[in-house]
Amino acid sequence: MESGNPALYNAYNGLDKLGVEDAWDMGYTGEGVKVAVMDSGVDFATPDLIGTQARVTNASSPYYGWPLVIDIDSLAHYIQGSENFLVQSQYADTTSTNVSGYQVTGTSKSGIYHIGAHPDSHLAQFYGQPIKVLLEDERTPNTYDTVYVDLNNNHDFRDDKPCRKGDEISYWDRENDGYPDESGGMIYFIADGKTHLPLSEILYGEKAKIPKNGELIAFEYDDSGHGTMCAGIIAAQGRNIKGIAPDAKIMPVRNSIESDMLLYLLTSIGSDGVPNTGDEADVVNRSGGFSYLFNKGADEGSAFLEYLTTIISPSTTIVTANGNDGSGYGTCSSPSSEHVINAGAIYDLWWNNSSYSGDLASFSSRGPNALGQIKPNVLAVGYLAPRVLPLFETHNGKTAWNDMGGGTSSATPHVASVVALIYQAYKDAHGKFPTSEKARDILMSSATDIDEEIFAQGSGIANAKRAVEIASGKDGVLVEPALLVTSPVEAGSDLVFDFNITNYSSEKIDLRPQTLIRDKRSELTLKSSNKDIRFKLPKDMLDCDLLKISSYYQREARSTKLERYEGYDLYLYNWRDVNGDGEAQDAELEAIVSPPRDMGLGFTSEARIHNPYDRTNDGAVAILRIRDKIESDEINVILEGFNWKTWEIGMNLNGKHSRISIPTTNTTGVYQGRIVVEYGKERQCIPVSFSTYRHDEIRINNTNEIYENAKIYGRFEAEPSKFWDTRFYPIYHEGRDLASIEVTWEDQDTDIDVYLYGQNTFNASEIWPFPAMAPIDVPERKVLKENGRSTQVSGINVLPYGDRGVGGSYNKFYTSTGKNREIITGELTDGLNLIVLHEVVSTGKMYGENVTINVSVMPFQSIELKAKAVDRLTIQPTHMDSIIGFSTGDEIKGEDLGFNSRSFWAEEGDVIVISSNDTEYFPQIFFDSNQNGTLDWGPGAFFNSSDSCPADELIFGKRRYDEIDTSHTDIIPIHKSGTYLLLMNNPYGRFEFYHLKNRYQAKANGLIDIKSPERSGSYLGIAEKDGNLIPVPVTLLVEPGEPVSIGLNFDNITERSKSFPVDLELQDRFGNPVEKAAEATVEFDNVSQKVNLVNGSGYINLTAPHKYGTCQIKAKSSYGVTEREIKIADLAPLPTADANISSDMAVQVAQMTAELPKEKADHPKKVESVSSILTSGNISLTWQASEDADHYNVYRLKGVSSEKLAEVKSPEYTMKGELWKSYTFRVSAVNSEGNESELSDPVGIVVTP
């Protein structure tokens, strides 16, 4: 590995802080370890990733020697075809052998060249047309083995790099400086007419297609840059930046529209479907997850991965992002199971000329998961780290990097890299790779404890040096398991936890159990202004293990909708009183916490610093940096000091074996603590957490512990669209009944949503959607499934902030009572159930809400009714006083609606039910406020929206993404009469839409009279009790009445002398079909024929007469006579389609036969010789003057788009650059007539000190 950019590594010492360089010095670089990057793809042509691809090492494999790549969407597109615009194939179709207009290499053995368009849309957008790839047989006739990509788009393949097995990466070094500048991706399969595409047999079996010889090339490239960032953090080669495990090999696993769980499975077992055969990943990096799920840890994905990592492929370790969803509890992403490693984020402020790092990032998601278990497991750098860029972003290899490796997306590959080092060290010492459990325990045992709470840090910051010492058995202390993981336990019981300690050090070990207690609190009320607010922190507040600072202010809106950019971000600084004047000057401040300003809403902000007294000099200063003015005159700041105190629990040490016994309280909730392991000068943390349940009740109270079970907060420091704080309350029940859950809180303008989950099972075979038999057998897994919830009102609102948007989704106040009290009803299942509180709206009147929870249990009664059409029936249900119904439902398809709304009229008291099986589900209902029949978003709703009408009122919105448990039902009450507008937000979705209009009220004696509808079929209704809707369906099966007639069905017009079908149906008086045998006589054109109706239906073929006119078709039976007319006409022939070529194919052909670029008459010549230099942070561009130029346009290239920076008269341009950012420029000449030349070749630079 090379040494990286010198200026960068003079400033950035993050690798040393994480112990990485020490691990390298010990010989551990990730050698022999395959790391899968499950992401947007990887650009292996960017200079830092050349040669890092993993390969098939099984000599008996047909893919031996080729790179390992998983791309099931491109495969599906090839085998099945796809109309989903989200699926972009990365295969090149090289069926054509027409190379006219192109200069070929002349090296084909057969003389037959195959040519096609490169699939990367970035290249097509950069050049204004698809560029071509050439496939030829350079060694053996008709054995196609070599690929050329016309990366300079000169229609001449002779100057392009040949790519073949062993040298698969396509690139163009425009500058001839050894740094590639344009990427053509990596090839990993060439069709030979005999070999299946990778994974096709295991997924499609007999339906798998083998592409013909020379007609397909499989490429791997990055769609967005995210995957390249992750791969670079892991394995960058030091051309620009240094990866943590530079000798590890990268296996790209491209994101899919299919389930992530499916990708995890294929990554863990490899393309042959058998674990441990060499084509599977050792470590999986997934810088993503699903935060929309509130049953995380007990959801289907977590349950499946627990089985995968412990039973199917125990030697594959999965590392996933904990999420960027803010400082609220329970914001961790799924999967979050016991043996999946979740990574949280810390600040490293090197980029801000600060020496501070290691404090928790405000956006880093917190635990616990739904079962009260520890997440994240460890922390790593998430703001900010050096990152590799794909070449489509810079078009310049030397500038293919910057400092923007951020979020838990960055922290995750940091952690995955350390796991790769652990794998190498463990194998060197033990002859085999560790299991995922062993790797997790080594990682957590070696982490650096920073005295944070365990739901924020897990065990602490990943430490590569200590990790490889423990993995190799050279030093350190290994704790197994390295955390307490347990299902909820009964309140008041003793929780027993066993663990083993292996001491590789020569030091004596001491164990100290502790809990984190608040013992200091201070509140400041500051006057708001239109500028930043600076204040010193009270000196006494710094003397603690953890200082937490929170800001908030009051808002009048009962919504989190961001009407304008507003609020404050909380920054924290160390103060060195250099001149001794007692005043904090800017030059005396060094950043400790510096949050990203495009995250969150600004309503609240949080900063944390661990061990502030020891890590500050003359004090600490906070600055509330204003985004924009707020309505409130005041802003409140709460300072809370926490210290780790002795935890009185039982502990029994017996050699390596240790047992602790924790007496739990008799209250419901989640509890956390730690056991500190000390040896010599070292210290590590065993995190402990658990949750407690009671039978059929919730009993809560508050303590001074940092996690409060009886209090919940408004938190808005997350990525746009995800803002919340959550509390979890297990509850145990025997049998199957209904529960009414009533939650109250203090502020009448705060909204807290309530969810109920119950125990269920999950059939994991549902994740396998392919025709071939699944390669593994997975038994049913226990999960918690949603059984009841609050009605959610969630919308979308984005405000511009620079070139990004701020705001994302928003929540609007809605409770079932209209007050600070929510009541939901749902099913309690046998065993463990879970109540979840989720604060979605806070107006900032107070710091947190005290909550109470009451649970009332009543018998469960499903109602299944049956009646004939318009019959009356009387029922006497229990625990309900009315039924609202009935509807058969309408199927709503996204392909029909697009992104348009559908209007409907509803009366006050009606109920809407939406039932869906979509993975992506986001319906919304708006009240048409001005009754104009059109959905009005309001001015500025989406960046520069021109809608001048006031926004229509959002009354329901629910956003959800679940790849596995896709069933979902929402119940929406209508509170006022008028026109409503339904929006689907998913062009490929579909759901059933039920409009329930009739309320059947119980009489004084408890009886409910119901009149069944006229039409037969299955109907849905909803029960109600005391005005609260009960999510237990009332089904009504309406059967047809007695038959009274024969119905005739046929087209109303037919052609002369043509045969046509007629369907006959036995019907009741409302036209409902009746399944009963009958006989009818059909008369037509003076001919009578008998027809037998089997189960009430039959058909006959009739022949139209030769004459024009109108004829009668008559059916006679014991049920009477039915007559209908049919028109006999001379029908015109249908227009004949173009038999030559379809429009889609025409586009393809046009692309395949692109002409040579034409010279543009009257346009200036292309600007040549653009150069860039950096002087004191200023970027200066100069270029060769054009004789026919009136002026020049200077553009900054951002990926495939260009931002015009300036018009200049002379051939030079200077601008101020931002430190550590990458810039790429292009220049054009414009003549006096306004004609613009072709853009210059890109030139790039990274701003360094």
* Amino acid letter, 421: L
Count of residues making up the chain = 1249
Q: At which residue do the structure tokens 């830092």 appear? A: 48
The tokens for 395 are 């078009």
Give the DSSP letter of residue 408: H
Q: What is the CA radius of gyration of the chain?
A: 34
Are 668 and 694 in contact by the 8 Å Cβ rule? The answer is yes
Q: At which residue do the structure tokens 């984005």 appear? A: 798
State the pairing for strand pair 1017-1025/1028-1039. antiparallel
16 in active site: no
Question: Measured between alpha carbons, how far is residue 1029 from residues 827, 831, 881, 1026 in Å?
Answer: 13, 25, 10, 8
39 in active site: yes
Are 1070 and 870 in contact by the 8 Å Cβ rule? The answer is yes
What is the Cα–Cα distance from 564 to 807, expressed in whole angstroms?
9
Element (DSSP H or E) covering residue 269: helix 260-269
**Active-site residue, from 118, 122, 226, 733:** 226
**Active-site residue, from 39, 48, 192, 910:** 39
Which parts of 413-508 are beta strand (E)?
Answer: 477-480, 489-490, 494-503
890 C-beta neighbours (distance < 10 Å), count: 12
CA angle in degrees (0–180, nearest 5) for 990-993-995: 170
Element (DSSP H or E) covering residue 657: strand 657-663
Q: At which residue do the structure tokens 């017009």 appear? A: 1053
SS3 state at 989: coil
196 in active site: no
State the pairing for strand pair 657-663/494-503. antiparallel
CA angle in degrees (0–180, nearest 5) for 120-121-127: 105
What is the Cα–Cα distance from 165 to 62, expressed in whole angstroms?
12
Are 733 and 618 in contact by the 8 Å Cβ rule? The answer is no
Cβ neighbourhood burial of 463 (10 Å; 0-12, 13-18, 19+)? buried
Give the DSSP letter of residue 47: G
**Active-site residue, from 336, 409, 1016, 1172:** 409
What is the Cα–Cα distance from 447 to 342, expressed in whole angstroms?
14
Element (DSSP H or E) covering residue 74: helix 72-80
The tokens for 1220 are 């550590």
What is the Cα–Cα distance from 692 to 489, expressed in whole angstroms?
5
Question: Measured between alpha carbons, how far is residue 1171 from residues 159, 174, 181 in Å?
Answer: 24, 14, 15
What is the Cα–Cα distance from 13 to 352, expressed in whole angstroms?
13
**Which of 637, 557, 572, 633 has the alpha carbon at shortest distance from 608?**
572
What is the Cα–Cα distance from 1006 to 1028, expressed in whole angstroms?
17
Are 833 and 752 in contact by the 8 Å Cβ rule? The answer is no
Q: Is the peptide bond before 49 cis (omega within 30 degrees of 0)?
A: no
**Which of 341, 371, 44, 389 has the alpha carbon at shortest distance from 187?**
44
Are 606 and 717 in contact by the 8 Å Cβ rule? The answer is yes
Strand partners, 605: 551
The tokens for 798 are 């984005």
Are 269 and 941 in contact by the 8 Å Cβ rule? The answer is no
**Which of 458, 286, 230, 231 has the alpha carbon at shortest distance from 365?**
458
Cβ neighbours for 618, distance < 8 A, ≥ 6 positions apart: 575, 576, 577
CA angle in degrees (0–180, nearest 5) for 755-736-833: 35
Positions marked active-site = 39, 226, 409
